[in-house]
Structure 1
Amino acid sequence: MTQKNKLLTLSSFNSQYLKHIWRDGFQDKNPAWTKWNAPYFNDYHAYPSFSQFEHSPITDYLLSDSCKCICLDGKGIGMVSKNWIDEVTRWLEIGIVIYNPTYWHGGIGSRVLKIWISEIFDQYPELEHIGLTTWSGNLRMIHLAQKLGFKKEAQIRKVRFYKEKYYDCMKYGILRDEWIN
């Protein structure tokens, strides 16, 4: 069965999903996903035991209303997030991480972000814009944003320094009336 034929859902995190995420994303010292998810911040922390992970600030964040678990046939494989840059002015940004590279390149990111963006626009009828920020070194994320119809709204040049090279901060956004899922 290809990844496109598997059941893809967004769910609140539970203990089972947290264990999946810990195994795929936070047990190893240098998992592949950390090379793409804002590596210039250098803030990744491995948790050798699930108990340590379960009591970490990361788990607190995953369990918050800001996140949902990406589930593929009942297995937690990643997370989507929404964060208010400024709730008063209704400025919200989204994010996505798929932890295990096995699930990269299969269309899961675009499928799940379509669900997530629709949920957010449904949940916040007053919201007119959803943003997404990445860096110029993450070409897959740039392609995904463009594929979903996001427009490049800003490119702040040479503000991300990683492995002795400068990268740009890339900001994308989509308006409610542009969103066609």
Structure 2
Amino acid sequence: MKETPIIEGDLVLRCIEEADLPELYQLIYSEEVPEWKQWDAPYFPLEHESYTQYSQGIMKWIEASATSSNPISMRIVEVKGQIIGTISYYWEHQQSLWLEMGIVLYRSTTWSKGVGTRALQLWSSHLFNHLSIARVGLTTWSGNERMMRAATKAGLQVEGRMRKCRIVEGKHYDSIRMGMLREEWEQLSSPRV
């Protein structure tokens, strides 16, 4: 089932289509060590795969998402008609409705311009509107200060800090758990009088 795009001005969160796969593949795999990967969980290596493997995996995921009763779990982040990244959610523990979201902006020219904050706000609202969840979370690392700022501006707050459990370029960093409760989202979403 194809879902309606989420649109705010020039920012669009839309379903991935087969025609998007060549561009997404290029954004993810065109460089041996892409700049975006230095910020998106750099402690996990990027597993390079062929275009065929990548496209088959995504198409399988798209087909599985189409039969789920939950909202589609990944969308393209597009600004002014250009694909700049992806935003997603996953179940940390579905039985207890523990949901985490994530965002990757592949094009560094879009960083530090508020796009990530706006996308996280739209996405968290979409998730609260379409799922019976009490909170939405996001996990990052203390070296990714841009992500922490964007999440904070989007209404999430630090809920946990696991100290010195991530190593990047030989240096220890903290793992940061952030989250927003439904009532906090409702307060942020309510019209101001």
| TM-score normalised by structure 1 residue count | 0.86
Does residue 54 (structure 1) correspond to residue 55 (structure 2)? The answer is yes
Aligned CA distance change for structure 1 residues 109 and 62 (closer, same or farther; 3 Å):
farther
SS at match of 1:145: helix
Q: Which has the higher contact order (CA 8 A, sep 6+)?
A: 1
Q: Equivalent of 1:17, from 20, 38, 45?
A: 20
What secondary structure sits across from 2:128 in the alignment? helix
Give the aligned CA root-mean-square deviation in angstroms.
2.0
Amino acid at match of 2:157: K
Q: 1:74 to 1:50 in 2, by over 3 A?
A: farther
Counterpart code for 1:21: L
Residue 26 (structure 1) aligns with? 29
Q: Secondary structure at the match of 1:40?
A: coil
Aligned to 2:76: 69
Which sections of structure 2, spanning at least 5 residues, go unmatched? Answer: 1-7, 66-71
1:159 is matched with 165
Q: Residues of 2 paired with 1:152 and 1:68: CA distance?
A: 25
State the match for 2:93 in structure 1: 86
TM-score (norm 2): 0.81
- Identity among equivalent positions (%) equals 35
Uncovered stretches (5+) of structure 1, i.e. residues with no partner:
none
The number of residue pairs the alignment matches comes to 172
Structure 1 residue 17, shift from structure 2 partner: 2.2
Q: Deviations over 1:4-32 (max 9, x none)?
A: x9621111101232222222222221110
- Cross-structure match for 2:152: 146
